[in-house]
Amino acid sequence: MAEGASPLDQALDGFLTHARVEQGLAPRTVEAYGRDLSRFVAFLLRRGASKPEEIVRAQVSGFLESLAREGLSARSRARALVAVRRLVRHLQATGRMTDDPLEGLGAPRLTQRLPRTLDSAEVERLLGAVPGEE
């Protein structure tokens, strides 16, 4: 951690170390959390919050809205929210936060993809493959 790092940066480093060492999360998971949470911390710092206890629900909502404006998919925004939730739970467990700024905050809606349908030529081939009654 660089000298002069904000308490939020320190909290992020502590969480990532905890996730990697104590929870044994996969390296790629820790990397993804690190990317998402670095963006979150930068967002908070730009808005004047530098300590974990200064995080409020409106900031988390604003962060998710900023990700949507940047064009991130609902799935990517949901992953970022999971990372923020895990960070907040860690900060609560270590006594760095008491309030839950995520209470009642829902995840971005994920769209269900419809299955691809067969075209008429594929249907004909499928039906032709079934032995018929003769």
Q: DSSP characters for 73-119? A: -HHHHHHHHHHHHHHHHHHHHTTS--S-TTTTPPPPPPPPPPPPPPP
Task: Report the pLDDT value the prediction gives residue 108, as an integer from 0 to 100.
Answer: 55
Give yes or no for residue 39 having a pLDDT over 60: yes
Asked if 29 and 82 touch (Cβ cutoff 8 Å), the reply is no
Q: What is the pTM of this model?
A: 0.73
Task: Report the share of the chain in percent with pLDDT over 90.
Answer: 40
Q: Which residue has the higher pLDDT, 133 or 117?
A: 117
Taking residue 83's Cβ as centre, other Cβ atoms within 10 Å add up to: 21
pLDDT in tens, 83-124: 999 999 999 999 888 888 777 666 556 556 778 888 888 888
